[in-house]
Amino acid sequence: MDKTSLRPHRVNGGQVEHDGLRARLTLPPTGANAYADAQLDDYSHAPPRRFKHAPPQRVIVRARFSSNDLQGTAGFGFWNDPFTQNGGVIEPPCSVWYFYSSPESDLRVTRDSPGHGFTAAMLNSYPSTNRAVAGAFSLLTKLGAPLLNWMLRRPALAGLVLSAARATVQAREVLLDVDMTAWHDYGLDWQSDLAVFTLDGRVVLRASHPPRAPLGFVAWIDNYRATASGGASRGASAYEFAYVDVRQEQWMELEIRQGP
């Protein structure tokens, strides 16, 4: 991955200090009525978006955070940026990353996950070899959160949505037991058939069937809170987003290195 291609993305006072090797992303105090973001990424935010990273990719991110109890979300890794700022769904989500969300969020990538916290996580919405089923799930997801929520509240329609999702979505996640304020090396080894996550050289997650389509690299800290109806392992397709109150400045520092 070419670190020099990373560009800052700032919203509502978010600050990005970036020298090509080390970056500091800072989020100012922000009320729950507005969105703020400090981000580095290597893709265009305007459609049609094109992503440049496909497996194999090996990256080590050395990072630390201002607190173990951030408000909002933060993290780094590869994804397809599938949502609009207001929660609309552009395409089914795919990601291979380290992801933090505060307790206001409920994003259950797997059935037994807590829905928030700091995790190593893989989500692939396109592993099905049944193109008809995969296409149906893609269409359902693109309908957007309000309509999908309406469908999920009706048993006959919800069964169709969940069946399509179960046939396509692959997801793995592990909650990390780590002091986020200390420097740690977070490794990503993303291959076509396996994604391996390491923490200070120790394997914390092996996830089969990762995404194969190109994804973009992102590192960010913001004040989102998000929920996914039903949880990904049960076919979550409807996402809802809002903001949380950030009472004091919070930040993430990181260095991005090529893997071995």
Q: Tell me what pLDDT residue 27 has.
A: 98
Q: Would the pLDDT of 92 be above 90?
A: no
The residue-averaged pLDDT of 180-187 equals: 98
> Which two structure tokens, joined as six digits, stand for 112?
């037994």
pTM: 0.83
- Give the pLDDT confidence score for residue 167 in this predicted structure: 47
Q: In the beta sheet, which residues pair with residue 59?
A: 188, 258
24 vs 22: CA distance, rounded Å? 7
Tell the burial category of 205 from Cβ atoms under 10 Å away from its Cβ (0-12, 13-18, 19+): middle
Is residue 4 scored above 80 in pLDDT? no
Whole-number pLDDT of residue 151: 55
Statement: residue 232 has pLDDT above 60? no
Question: How far is 168 from 137, CA to CA, in rounded Å?
Answer: 8
pLDDT at 150 over 50: yes
**All structural domains of the chain with their residue ranges:** 3-258
Mean pLDDT along residues 177-197: 97
Average confidence (pLDDT) over 85-112: 83
Least confident of 93-97, 161-165, 238-242: 161-165
The answer to whether residues 123 and 94 touch, using CB atoms and an 8 Å cutoff, is: yes
pLDDT confidence of residue 236: 41
51-55, 148-152, 238-242: range with highest mean pLDDT: 51-55
The helix/strand/coil state of 5 is helix
pLDDT above 70 for 160: no
Say what the pLDDT of residue 154 is: 57
Q: Is residue 233's pLDDT more than 70?
A: no
- The pLDDT score that the predictor gives to residue 164 is 52
pLDDT at 134 over 80: no
> Considering the chain, what is the average pLDDT of its residues?
83
Q: Does CATH place domain 3-258 in 2.60.120?
A: yes
Of 206 and 139, the one with more pLDDT: 206
